[in-house]
């Protein structure tokens, strides 16, 4: 057990009634954002997740930080404005993992979709199947307008066919025009969720966080939890926030407040080992309409091509994976869009799927269900003296704004006032991040000289962990940064030891799926996984039986949930060092 884990466990053992003001159930991005905000206000806050931080829906997004262009046609202008602002803020506050993403929109007609769009704006339940140049031009102009607050990226460009095909040479010549606008992407969403949790813990010593911990009972205002190691503790909160995402209705029922708030849809994605496609995209995303009218996307992600996403009604978050028909759908869609490129099953290296916790709806199409958020309240009642605030809906991009809204509600109920805003507050490794080339070069030289590594290595870890890289490289360990993980030669034993000891790891899967991107990048091998397991076992005091079980659980998860089978060699052995 690491010193940090032991300290937290001791604090849990000393909890008294009245020590916790607010319990947040669910540590996805919305719960983590709220935890950080409340901790910054000095609220004694406990966040609990039955799995790991950021391991549910928050680990299965399209990895976009976007303003919601398609929400314009359903008239959700307030959501678009908020999303565009939060996108701009994240580019400033999380520069270590959020970056601008120029986006190409292929256009196949001039006027199609106008009347259908007008009907949708006036309440029709039928979305336009195709969007022509006139409609897209209007939409991009509106998008620029809504993104003007704290603007950090250029305005859109509209291209006629010849210019559009020069930008995207593999796109089908059936287009009549194209548009380019700017959104953003996030390289490590799961890690950012952990960083929000860590920021909250560092901001206020009265706050606590527990992963791999389940709610076992709720009676007479007392909630009892049990950690995966069998340790149990009880808390009597003043208020409970249900941030369980697609599990919200299950959690409310366990708390004695049954309701039907969630009507989720399933979103799946695949990763392709396709260097030619990645090169041809030239750093752009293509945001396109598939043959059935659904919006799809493809862009470069850590050296691979990410393709998504589906939008299928689904209410079983515990048994969700990308199914074979979905993979066929993605491959058929990109074949139609990019007919001069080859797309086959052997290029698929990884797949993932999650449930969007959308509000319950009777909409005829999943695409018409609002992506906006709400926070309904169940007031106290006999046997339950605390109110329950449920975080319904929302999207990855707007987590900070949503958290601030709910935090203000919580503070009012606790009769407290806000001490600080999170609007301009850097997250995790984004703190003190160098903002230009000169500052970056200076940071790299300083850290490299201090810890004795090559400047290129300091640069690499700065890109991966932000300014936390300095602490990792200075970590006192029996391992050195020159000891690299088999199959993942740009990851070191020193990194893994730091993560295992400092980042609230409970399971091996926490390391390979969430604190790092080794799994989704296809960098895991059986030998490498054994090496990571041995480092984690030493840090967390696992015996041989526990270590073998942890390795087996990762192998099973990769096969069952992500379509990936480990070998002794790297899954992406042909992808080359640039992809790693």
Domain ranges of the chain: 3-57+190-262+372-413, 92-186+264-356, 475-579
b/e for 459-480, b at 16 or more Cβ within 10 A?
Answer: bbbbebbbbbbbebbebebebe
Q: Which two tokens stand for residue 559?
A: 């096969």
Query: Is pLDDT above 80 for 362?
Result: no
pLDDT greater at residue 241 or residue 118:
241
Per-residue confidence (pLDDT) for residue 18, from 0 to 100: 83
Per-residue confidence (pLDDT) for residue 124, from 0 to 100: 57
Query: Is pLDDT above 80 for 72?
Result: no
Q: Which residues pair with 177 in a beta bridge?
A: 107, 160
Query: Is pLDDT above 60 for 398?
Result: yes
Task: Kindly report whether the peptide bond that precedes residue 309 is cis, defined as omega within 30 degrees of 0.
Answer: yes
Residue-wise pLDDT for 416-470, tens only, equals 999 999 999 999 999 999 999 999 999 999 999 999 999 999 999 999 999 999 9
Query: Is pLDDT above 80 for 326?
Result: yes
Lowest mean pLDDT among 248-257, 314-323, 512-521, 565-574: 565-574
Cα gap 462→458, rounded to integer Å: 6
Per-residue confidence (pLDDT) for residue 576, from 0 to 100: 44
Do 381 and 366 form a contact (C-beta atoms < 8 A)?
no
Band of the pLDDT at 578, cuts 50, 70, 90? very low
Q: What percent of the chain has pLDDT over 90?
A: 73
Band of the pLDDT at 380, cuts 50, 70, 90? very high
Band of the pLDDT at 369, cuts 50, 70, 90? low
Cα gap 568→523, rounded to integer Å: 11
Q: What percent of the chain has pLDDT over 70?
A: 92
pTM equals 0.93
Cα gap 515→196, rounded to integer Å: 13
Per-residue confidence (pLDDT) for residue 365, from 0 to 100: 55
Query: Is pLDDT above 90 for 54?
Result: yes
Per-residue confidence (pLDDT) for residue 575, from 0 to 100: 39
Strands (E), 228-347: 232-235, 239-242, 265-272, 285-289, 295-301, 304-308, 312-313
Query: Is pLDDT above 80 for 221?
Result: yes
Query: Is pLDDT above 90 for 279?
Result: yes
Per-residue confidence (pLDDT) for residue 113, from 0 to 100: 64
Per-residue confidence (pLDDT) for residue 147, from 0 to 100: 78
Per-residue confidence (pLDDT) for residue 317, from 0 to 100: 83
Mean pLDDT computed over every residue of the chain? 90
Lowest mean pLDDT among 121-130, 181-190, 403-412: 121-130
Per-residue confidence (pLDDT) for residue 153, from 0 to 100: 81
pLDDT greater at residue 19 or residue 307:
307
CATH 3.30.9.10 assigned to 92-186+264-356: yes
Lowest mean pLDDT among 177-186, 239-248, 304-313: 304-313
Query: Is pLDDT above 80 for 249?
Result: yes
Q: What angle do CA 454, 193, 251 make, to 5 degrees?
A: 160
Region 140-157: mean pLDDT is 83
Do 201 and 5 form a contact (C-beta atoms < 8 A)?
no
Per-residue confidence (pLDDT) for residue 329, from 0 to 100: 95
Residue 485 CB partners (closer than 8 Å, separation 6+) = 491, 492, 493, 496, 518, 528, 531, 532
Per-residue confidence (pLDDT) for residue 412, from 0 to 100: 98
Per-residue confidence (pLDDT) for residue 117, from 0 to 100: 61
What's 371's DSSP letter? -
Residue-wise pLDDT for 332-349, tens only, equals 999 999 999 999 999 999
CA-closest candidate to residue 459, choices 486, 470, 450 = 470
Residue-wise pLDDT for 487-528, tens only, equals 999 999 999 999 999 999 999 999 999 999 999 999 999 999
Per-residue confidence (pLDDT) for residue 573, from 0 to 100: 43
b/e for 278-290, b at 16 or more Cβ within 10 A?
Answer: bebbeebbbbbbb
The CATH topology of domain 3-57+190-262+372-413 is FAD/NAD(P)-binding domain (3.50.50)
Region 225-232: mean pLDDT is 92
Per-residue confidence (pLDDT) for residue 366, from 0 to 100: 54
CA-closest candidate to residue 245, choices 358, 367, 409 = 358
Query: Is pLDDT above 70 for 394?
Result: yes
Band of the pLDDT at 371, cuts 50, 70, 90? low
């Amino acid at each position: 057990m690491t010193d940090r884990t032991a300290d937290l466990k001791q604090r849990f053992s000393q909890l008294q009634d009245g020590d916790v003001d607010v319990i947040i159930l669910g540590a996805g991005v919305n719960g983590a954002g709220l935890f950080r905000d409340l901790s910054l206000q000095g609220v004694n806050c406990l966040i609990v997740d039955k799995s790991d931080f950021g391991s549910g829906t928050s680990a299965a997004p399209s990895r976009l930080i976007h303003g919601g262009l398609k929400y314009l046609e359903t008239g959700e202008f307030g959501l678009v404005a908020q999303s565009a602002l939060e996108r701009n803020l994240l580019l400033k506050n999380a520069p270590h993992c959020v970056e601008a993403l120029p986006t190409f929109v292929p256009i196949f007609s001039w006027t199609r979709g106008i009347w259908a769009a007008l009907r949708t704006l006036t309440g029709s339940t039928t979305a336009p199947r195709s969007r022509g140049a006139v409609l897209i031009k209007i939409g991009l102009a509106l998008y620029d307008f809504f993104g003007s607050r704290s603007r950090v990226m250029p305005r859109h460009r509209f291209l006629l066919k010849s210019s559009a095909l020069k930008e995207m040479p593999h796109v089908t010549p059936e287009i009549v025009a194209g548009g380019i606008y700017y959104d953003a992407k996030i390289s490590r969403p799961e890690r950012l969720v952990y960083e929000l949790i860590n920021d909250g813990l560092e901001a206020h010593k009265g706050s606590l966080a527990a992963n791999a911990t389940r709610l076992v009972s709720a009676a007479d205002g007392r909630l009892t939890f049990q950690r995966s190691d069998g340790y149990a503790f009880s808390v009597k909160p003043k208020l409970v926030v249900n941030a369980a995402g697609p599990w919200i209705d299950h959690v409310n029922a366990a708390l004695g407040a049954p309701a039907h708030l969630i009507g989720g849809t399933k979103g799946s994605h695949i990763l392709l080992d396709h260097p030619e496609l990645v090169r041809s995209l030239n750093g752009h995303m293509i945001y396109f309409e598939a043959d059935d009218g659904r919006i799809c996307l493809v862009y470069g992600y850590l050296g691979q091509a990410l393709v998504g996403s589906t939008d299928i009604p689904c209410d079983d978050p515990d048994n969700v994976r990308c199914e074979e028909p979905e993979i066929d759908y993605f491959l058929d869609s990109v074949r139609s869009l990019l007919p001069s490129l080859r797309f086959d099953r052997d290029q698929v290296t990884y797949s993932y799927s999650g449930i969007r916790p959308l509000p319950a709806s009777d909409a005829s199409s999943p695409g018409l269900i609002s992506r906006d958020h709400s926070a309904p309240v169940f007031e106290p009642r006999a046997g339950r003296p605390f109110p329950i605030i449920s975080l319904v809906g929302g999207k990855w991009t707007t987590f900070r704004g949503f958290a601030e809204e709910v935090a203000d509600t919580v503070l009012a109920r606790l009769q407290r006032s806000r001490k600080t805003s999170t609007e301009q507050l850097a997250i995790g490794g984004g703190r003190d991040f160098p903002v230009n080339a000169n500052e970056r070069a200076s940071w790299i030289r300083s850290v490299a000289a201090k810890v004795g590594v090559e400047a290129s290595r300091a640069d690499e870890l700065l890109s991966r962990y932000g300014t936390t890289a300095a602490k990792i490289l200075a970590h006192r360990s029996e391992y050195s940064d020159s000891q690299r993980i088999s199959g993942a030669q740009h990851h070191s034993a020193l990194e893994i030891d730091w993560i295992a000891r400092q980042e609230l790891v409970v399971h091996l899967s926490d390391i390979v799926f969430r604190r790092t991107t080794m799994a989704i990048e296809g960098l895991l091998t059986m030998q490498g996984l054994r090496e990571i397991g041995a480092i984690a076992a030493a840090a967390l005091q696992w015996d041989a039986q526990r270590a073998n079980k942890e390795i087996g659980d990762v192998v099973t998860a990769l096969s069952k949930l992500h379509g990936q089978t480990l070998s002794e060699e790297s899954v992406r052995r042909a992808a080359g060092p640039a992809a790693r």
